[in-house]
């Protein structure tokens, strides 16, 4: 299976938790820290990618895309700072995730 690239917007929620929100597939994880939210989302996305592979489907083909405001927040964040890339892969499948932290969002302008 070829490498799959997904983009993720990271932002703080008003309750001070963190959200990792994938753009190409409207999946998200929330946790007390940004690292924990990203780790949870990465595991979820990789498991889904392998599940789709086992069922001979295109990765994330059963998901819709994130709302437009999440795409816009990601674009704004990447315009000011280069996103980081996280790789996860085993058994010939590789998931690459570009992560952009949405500064000062407080959740209000993206959710």
Pick the closest to residue 21 from 32, 33, 6 (CA basis): 6
CA separation (Å) from 99 to 9, 35, 39, 41, 53?
Answer: 6, 11, 12, 11, 24
Asked whether residue 108 is domain-assigned, the answer is: no
Q: What is the pTM of this model?
A: 0.83
User: Residue 110 domain-assigned?
Assistant: no
Owner of token pair 């083909």:
61
pLDDT at 93: 66
Domain of residue 70 covers 4-101
Alpha helices in the chain (DSSP H): 34-54, 68-80
pLDDT in tens, the chain (111 residues): 578 889 999 999 999 999 999 999 999 999 999 999 999 999 999 899 889 989 999 999 999 999 999 999 999 888 776 777 777 766 566 888 889 998 755 444 444
Distance of alpha carbon 19 from alpha carbon 26, whole angstroms:
12
Q: Is position 52 within any domain?
A: yes
In a domain, 106, yes or no: no
Q: Does the residue 13 lie in any domain?
A: yes
- Domain membership flag for residue 14: yes
Please count the structural domains in the chain.
Answer: 1
Question: Is 111 among the domain residues?
Answer: no
Cβ-Cβ contacts under 8 Å for 70 (sequence gap 6 or more): 9, 21, 23, 110
User: How far is it, in rounded angstroms, from Cα 62 to Cα 9?
Assistant: 20
């Amino acid at each position: 299976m070829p490498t799959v690239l997904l983009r993720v917007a990271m932002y703080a929620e008003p309750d001070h938790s963190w959200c990792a929100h994938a753009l190409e597939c409207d999946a998200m994880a929330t946790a007390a820290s940004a690292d924990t939210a990203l780790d949870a989302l990465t595991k979820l996305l990789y498991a889904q990618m392998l599940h789709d592979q086992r069922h001979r489907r295109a990765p994330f083909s059963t998901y819709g895309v994130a709302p437009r405001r999440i795409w816009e927040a990601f674009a704004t964040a990447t315009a000011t700072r280069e996103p980081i890339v996280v790789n996860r892969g085993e058994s010939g499948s590789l998931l690459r995730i570009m992560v952009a932290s949405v500064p000062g969002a407080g959740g209000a302008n993206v959710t």
